[in-house]
Every structure is written in structure tokens, then in C-alpha cells.
Amino acid sequence: MNMPATDDRPLRLVIHGGAGAVRRDRLKPERERVFMQVLAQSLHAGHAVLAAGGSSIDAVIAAIVIMEDSPVFNAGKGAVFSHEGYNELDASIMDGATRMAGAVAAVTTIRNPIRAAHAVMMHSRHVLLIGRGAESFAAEQALEIVEPSYFYTQRRWDQLQKAIAKERITLDHDLDSDSGEENNEKHGTVGAVALDYRGNLAAGTSTGGLTNKRFGRVGDTPIIGAGTYADNQSVAVSATGTGEMFIRSAAGFYTAAQIKLQNKSLFEAADHTLAEIATIGGEGGLIVLNAQGDYTMCFNTSGMFRGVIGNDGVARVGVFSGDESLAVY
């Protein structure tokens, strides 16, 4: 459902914390509260930037940093482990006013990859930097560099051991039907889209990728036009889901193109993109925002951790289908 803005100069921030097979009977109330509190904190951090007249880019960064610093989502501190036992992080950001963009992939020592993506956008001639090169660049930009052990969490390590034992790759947005208590909740890729008082859009996404991923695998999150896209003439988009299929569908750009060229509504475009992704075996969700403040939070899974805040400064967050499920924080 699209949500119309009600102010002559609307501001809006929409976020997600991943979409997947989230079961009501497996998500314990106390754990759900933790997720909701982090989402609300993220929304309030981004809103503070917007309410003070800050840019949509800065609001996206502020919102995502909160989620990167929390161990409950698969980004930054809460990132999953690769097969080799590393936390390999990806992030991207895009400015809808200029279509400038920046991204990093497979980094292991940058505390906040979204800040590094922004630095690539602002202080380099490039769009995407990877691995050690990206880490060296981030250090030159005086971003916070940490030991790889900073990203270690016992829960993620245990998830890796289970995935190795089962000889499979585990999507960050799925739950094992036979998983123990530690997996009875959703942890996912995070993203944000924002609209500032100047009418400028921005989008950003950050992730730890897949549990047990191998061979330097990189998904859609740092790929501009797949996991992240922003253009003031259409929309800002952040995606979460089965990354390979989002890349193959150019999900972010495809959603924006339908709105710009076919005059589809935000929901129609996002829903159609997810339907196309489903035809090639993918699933997930999209948050989409336009320059009028209209937005949609669309997913083809049982749940998506998500939230929205506007001019009134009230954070609304939820997990399951239906806008009536959004709680006020």
C-alpha cells in the first residue's frame, strides 16, 4: 500500500532489516521487542537528521549505522560468517539528486561499511571498491577500522557450524524449521531510503551476506541498480533477499524504471519486480520511496522487519503482513 505524505514539504525515512520466513510462533515476544527497539532507534536517528534540515544521504547513513552497530541484524556487528570463518561485509549508497553512488564489498575491518560506501562516493572517482583496497581507502579517509574479531558473535558462529554440518549455504533471511532457540528469529540485511526537505532522495543498503558463503561471494547489496538505487525523477529503492536473483533482475533499477516509464504505482512496480524475481527462484522485499513522500514496503515472504517515520516524528515498525501490524515507538 502506498502512503501519501500529508505535509507541503514532506520528509520521510523508510527502513528494512531483512525479509524472510519469519514465523509468529517462533519469534518470541522479548526478541521481537529487541528488533523493534533497534528499528525505532534507527528511524529516530535518521529523522533527527531530516528534522534538522539535513540531507537524505546523511539520514540514510545515520539510520543504517544504528543497525550496523547492533548485533541483531546481518550487517556490521551482527554479520554472518563465511565458510572460511570471516565476516565479509558489503554496503552501498546512492544520491537521487546527482545519481552519484558508492559501494564496498568483501571488507573485514571497516566498522561501518555504509560510511565507507559514502566515502567512495564522495572522495574517489570510483563506484565500487572491494577487499583490501577498500579497507586501505577507508583507513585513508580516517574511518573507524577495527580488528576482525569485533564482528564476532557466538550466535553467528554457531549458525556457521550448523550450516557446515549440513553442507549448505544459509540465506540470512530464512529460518531452519528444525533450528534451535537461537535461530527462532529473523536477522537480515538492512537498508534505508529517505526524502529530505529539499525534495532529494537517497538509498543505502548494508549486509554480511550469506552464512557459509564461499569463494568471495558478493550479492546484490553493493551492486548499484540491484540492491540499491535512487533517482529524484523516479524513486529510491533498497532491497533484501536472495541476492543472485536480485542482481539478475536488476531489481532496484527495474522497479524505478516501471514507475518512471510505465507510470506504475510504487506498490505495483515493487510487486511486479518481486514476482519476476520469484519466477527465477528468488524471494525477498523492497522498500520504495518517491519525491512526494509516498512509499511502499513490499515483500513476498512471511515477514519483513521494517519501519517508517515522517514529519510527525512517530516511528512505526513491524514484521508481518498488513500495515495494521506496525506498532508505534
Catalytic residues: 189
Distances (CA, A) of 312 to 44, 232, 250, 328: 11, 23, 34, 12
Q: Residues 6 or more apart from 183 whose CB is under 8 A from it?
A: 159, 175, 176
Establish how many alpha carbons lie within 13 A of residue 119's alpha carbon, considering only the half-sphere containing its beta carbon. 19
Distances (CA, A) of 325 to 3, 12, 20, 192, 320: 15, 19, 16, 20, 6
Task: Enter the C-alpha cell of residue 29.
Answer: 515476544
| 209-222: b (≥16 Cβ within 10 Å) or e | bbbbbeeebbbbbb
CB atoms within 10 A of CB 148: 12
